[in-house]
Amino acid sequence: MTDFIHRYEPAHDAGSPPLLLLHGTGGDENDLLGLGQMISPGSALLSPRGRVLEHGMPRFFRRLAEGVFDEEDVRRRALELGAFVADARKQYGIAAPIAVGFSNGANIAAALLLLKPDVLAGGILLRAMVPLSDPPKTALGGKPVLLLSGQADPIVPASNSAKLAALLSEAGARVDHKVLPSGHQLSQADVTLARNWIGSVEAEAA
């Protein structure tokens, strides 16, 4: 398997979609397990640790400054992550997962949707930014994406999250973009909205 330190928790309900949990800067493979269990208790959880270190803190790709990404590294790391997911699907016998990413993890999930759309079944992108200034033409074929932004987020400007929503919509995703009265950190509203959204995706699949 492509070399990512990771945690895997098997499904408790075969009808629940597997989740790919992608932590923010300084997190690890344990960070979002609780969130995954809260938003979809029956799902299999696949949670890798980012392989890039920034001052000792794990991330999924390099950045040149806050909000300024090393886009060559974004592309390379997204393809590595895609290969890991493909290997993990074979090893654990799971379907294409829905990515649940926070901050840096949401950004690599957005890059994965744009660069390797077949890897994911959809995404919950929490405090995400546009990952690539010149993304390839992509056909997302109606994949569901929930984008949750913070109105008072000091890291992600409102114009940037709106641009990401437009970019994914133009690529064919079914994007539900909500702006919450919060900053960069997650709130109970994020959990509730994500849980309800997963429930609607499950109901459609059934």
Residues marked active site are found at 103, 153, 184
Structure tokens at 33: 């397990």
User: In the sheet that 174-180 helps form, which strands lie side by side, from edge to edge?
Assistant: 6-9, 45-48, 19-22, 98-102, 122-126, 144-150, 174-180
Whole-angstrom Cα distance, residue 158 to residue 150? 8
Beta strands in 50-121 (DSSP E): 52-54, 57-59, 63-65, 68-69, 98-102
φ, ψ of residue 122 to 5 degrees: the values are 165, -170
